[in-house]
Amino acid sequence: MSADATGNLPAERPEHSPLLGESLKSLAPIVENISELEGAITTIAEVGDRSAAKSARKLQRQLRKVEPTVTMIGQVKAGKTTLVNAMVGWPGLLPADVNPWTSVITSLHITPRKQPGGDHATFRFFDGSEWDRLMEKGGRIGELAGRAGADEELEALNKQVAEMREKSKRRLGEKFEMLLGQEHKYGYVDQELVERYVCLGDDFESDTDTSNTQGRFADITKAADLFLHREEFPIDFCIRDTPGVNDTFMMREQITIRAIRESRICVVVLSAHQALSTVDLALIRLIANIPSREVLIFVNRVDELADPATQVPEIEDSIRQTLKDHQGPADAEIIFGSAIWANHVLEGTPDQLGEASAAALANWAGARLPKKTKKSGEELVWELSGVPALYEALAKRIEGGIGSEVVARTAKGAMNLVSSITTSEHIAAMRLSDDAVAPLKRQDVPAELDKIEARCLEAYDRAFRDVLFDFDKRLERSHRGFLDRATGSLIAHLEEHGEENVWNYDATGLRVLLRTAFQVFSRNAQTASQKIYMQTAAELREIYLRAFNVPDETFRLEAPPAPYVPAPVLLGQTIALDLGTGWWSRWWHKRRGYRNFAVDFAAMIQAETDPIVEGLQTEHAKAVAADARATLEGFIEGQRDILKQLCTQANTSEQELLDAGRTAENRERSKALEATTATLTKYAA
């Protein structure tokens, strides 16, 4: 068997792909910044003493840990998995066309460094409570059905769930529930292994053959983490493939929401012949809460269009209009392409596209490419596949997002290290020339630090108490207002049209209000932390001035940057009001009497929306607050270490000081540090 471009056949580890390598050069500026910064920090390690070197290495480790992460979301069959395979230059790595029941999130962690143990994989199973939620209540959809009183759906659902459990038992053995919450690890990655954990076999419907179903774990697998070495990548990179948002149990929606929250960039993969024309509202709701700069739209399968040159601009307009109509990220960048084309190139078969596909390619090339070009046919197909453009867009976002953040944070840390080194030199000079007397005795430094820490943490807690209180109040007001208005509208409808006509109410208003409240929170949280970080830095700086007599005009101490606040994706969660048609009208037709309508309705919507409000308060807001506090504590802790070291040094013998202060060497050092500082300043901004 040979692999084909659909990527469903055995995949050996592919050769290095020069074209992919070329596309990944988009990431070069980020890598260059990081390595320039790493170089500057190496200088600090060389120039500073042992403790400075230790801190420098710690900063470098932080830099090396950077792993930009992209989450792919979209409808089932849009071609997410096929695109992911193309993006890592390994057609067939992840199985495409998997059973639509699968709910595994697969994270590909790609590294340019050869790993000691080679490629490896970890598969995590649902834990007991997640599984119970699915089995006992039919997942979120079961909860919804229960609340909406959709008894028939609930019954059908329970039947499906029972079947599922039976099949899992048959596949995995009676005691399969003991596996819940566990992990399986492997020291290699191949397609067979991935299939075992990610694909629910075709036997799912006609479960008669158990011969090859042994050890199929996909029923209970929640996450697959594959660690791969690919030399085309200049930097560690993570691509998360999600199963698609429209599933039977709506378990995936929850999982997808979590995956989006944990990464900074989300690529929405659409199928060109559907795009958003059928308006997948669940999908739009999910991205509606993400800022445009963190969303990219990849319209896949342009190879299936009859006339891409004409259709692509139409599709683009229609997507923008839909996004605008539903308050989504209307100016998100949209890229068109074909994962199949990319895979053909990777497999060296760009001349075997098939007639329609080749015609579409020629048509699209006419619209997209210059008439004259020196590029080879292979290069042109690769370009038209959209993968290079996708990486270019991703690189820009990574550079402006997590890239510049990590670089700035590390540069600030490094600048503070330089300050500590200059301080230690200052100590040497000071003792030798025996001038200044420090107004703060060094043995009093720890106590002074304790005071600063207590004061600043208290200021922090106070500020965040206010910020969170204000947020709760806003949420409460918006939530209550929405419930009142919705119930009011329901009653008005009943009075005007009676009980026979089904009434609908759009929850967009609630989402917009809650989102606005969250944006205010986000701004307040950032302003408050920034202010307190600066205040803390200023107070700590005083210690340097008073204990070590460093020059006030030139001595700098950098505060950490304000925290990143993840988008409130949770707001996109489907609630009963979103489930038009059958369900809702059944709920409606089961009620009698205006009062029952109003009371039941209010209770149901409250039950549906309470968890969202609560999630915003805890998972979102409180998590940001805790993070920001940890940064403050970490900052103070780091400064405590440095100051402790400086105090010890100030007490060392005169001979050592003389050694440390050897003038020629000193001058060398100062020069090196000056150059370093210039680099650091560039990145700290």
Ligand X SMILES: Nc1nc2c(ncn2[C@@H]2O[C@H](COP(=O)(O)OP(=O)(O)O)[C@@H](O)[C@H]2O)c(=O)[nH]1
Binding positions for ligand X, rule: CB under 6 A: 6, 74, 76-82, 96-97, 244, 300-301, 303-304, 338-340
Which lies closer to Mg ion via its Cβ, residue 44 or residue 105? Answer: 105
- Count Cβ atoms below 10 Å from residue 538 Cβ, excluding itself: 12
Which lies closer to Mg ion via its Cβ, residue 239 or residue 486? Answer: 239
- Count Cβ atoms below 10 Å from residue 335 Cβ, excluding itself: 19
The CB-nearest residue to ligand X is: 79
Task: Provide the residue count of the chain.
Answer: 685
- Count Cβ atoms below 10 Å from residue 362 Cβ, excluding itself: 13
Smallest separation (angstroms) from ligand X to the CB of 477: 40
Which lies closer to ligand X via its Cβ, residue 87 or residue 613? Answer: 87
171 binds, among ligand X, Mg ion, none (CB under 5 to 8 A by kind): none
Which lies closer to ligand X via its Cβ, residue 249 or residue 601? Answer: 249
574 binds, among ligand X, Mg ion, none (CB under 5 to 8 A by kind): none
What contacts 24+ positions apart, CB below 8 Å, involve 206-212?
A: 207/167, 207/170, 210/170, 210/171
Rounded-to-integer distance, Cα 523 and Cα 586, Å: 43
Smallest separation (angstroms) from Mg ion to the CB of 241: 6
Smallest separation (angstroms) from Mg ion to the CB of 299: 17
76 binds, among Mg ion, ligand X, none (CB under 5 to 8 A by kind): ligand X
Smallest separation (angstroms) from ligand X to the CB of 95: 8
Q: Is 589 helix (H, G, I), strand (E, B) or coil?
A: helix
Which lies closer to ligand X via its Cβ, residue 94 or residue 220? Answer: 94
Which lies closer to Mg ion via its Cβ, residue 193 or residue 602? Answer: 193
619 binds, among Mg ion, ligand X, none (CB under 5 to 8 A by kind): none
The CB-nearest residue to Mg ion is: 81
Residues contacting residue 50 through CB under 8 Å, at least 6 positions apart: none
Rounded-to-integer distance, Cα 518 and Cα 570, Å: 11
Q: Report whether 157 contacts 176 (CB < 8 A).
A: no
Smallest separation (angstroms) from ligand X to the CB of 129: 28
Which lies closer to Mg ion via its Cβ, residue 267 or residue 673? Answer: 267
- CA 602 from centre of chain: 35
92 binds, among Mg ion, ligand X, none (CB under 5 to 8 A by kind): none
Which lies closer to ligand X via its Cβ, residue 41 or residue 334? Answer: 334
Q: State yes or no: residue 71 binds Mg ion (CB under 5 A).
A: no
User: What tokens appear for 406 in the block?
Assistant: 């990590």
Which lies closer to ligand X via its Cβ, residue 95 or residue 403? Answer: 95
Rounded-to-integer distance, Cα 222 and Cα 249, Å: 14
User: What tokens appear for 108 in the block?
Assistant: 């590909």
- Count Cβ atoms below 10 Å from residue 384 Cβ, excluding itself: 27
Smallest separation (angstroms) from ligand X to the CB of 45: 45
Smallest separation (angstroms) from Mg ion to the CB of 116: 31
> What burial class does residue 506 get, using C-beta atoms within 10 Å of its C-beta: 0-12 exposed, 13-18 middle, 19+ buried?
exposed
Residue 180 dihedral angles phi and psi, to the nearest 5°: -55, 140
Q: Report whether 157 contacts 250 (CB < 8 A).
A: no
Written as one letter, the residue type at 125 is F
Smallest separation (angstroms) from Mg ion to the CB of 100: 9
Smallest separation (angstroms) from ligand X to the CB of 347: 13
Residues binding Mg ion: number (CB under 5 A): 2
Which lies closer to Mg ion via its Cβ, residue 246 or residue 519? Answer: 246
304 binds, among ligand X, Mg ion, none (CB under 5 to 8 A by kind): ligand X
Q: From start to end of 426-466, where are the E strands?
A: none
- Count Cβ atoms below 10 Å from residue 455 Cβ, excluding itself: 13
Among 33, 81, 419, 529, binds Mg ion (CB under 5 A): 81
- CA 81 from centre of chain: 18
Q: Which residue is it, tokens 């949280």?
A: 525
63 binds, among Mg ion, ligand X, none (CB under 5 to 8 A by kind): none
78 binds, among ligand X, Mg ion, none (CB under 5 to 8 A by kind): ligand X
Rounded-to-integer distance, Cα 529 and Cα 522, Å: 11
Smallest separation (angstroms) from ligand X to the CB of 335: 13
Q: What is the DSSP track for 19-38? A: HHHHHGGGGHHHHHHHHHHH
Dihedral angle over CA of 260, 131, 215, 212, nearest 10: -90
Smallest separation (angstroms) from ligand X to the CB of 399: 27
Which lies closer to ligand X via its Cβ, residue 73 or residue 144? Answer: 73
CA distances (Å), origin 135, targets 129, 140, 142, 220: 10, 11, 10, 12
Q: Which residue is it, tokens 């980020």?
A: 30
Smallest separation (angstroms) from ligand X to the CB of 623: 30
82 binds, among Mg ion, ligand X, none (CB under 5 to 8 A by kind): ligand X
Of the ranges 16-24, 81-89, 472-480, 565-573, which one interacts with Mg ion (CB under 5 A)? 81-89
Smallest separation (angstroms) from ligand X to the CB of 257: 18
Which lies closer to ligand X via its Cβ, residue 267 or residue 494? Answer: 267
Which lies closer to Mg ion via its Cβ, residue 92 or residue 403? Answer: 92
Beta strand pairing call for 120-125 and 183-186:
antiparallel
Residue 411 dihedral angles phi and psi, to the nearest 5°: -60, -40
Q: Report whether 67 contacts 166 (CB < 8 A).
A: no
Q: What does the binding site for Mg ion look like in residue numbers (CB under 5 A)?
A: 80-81
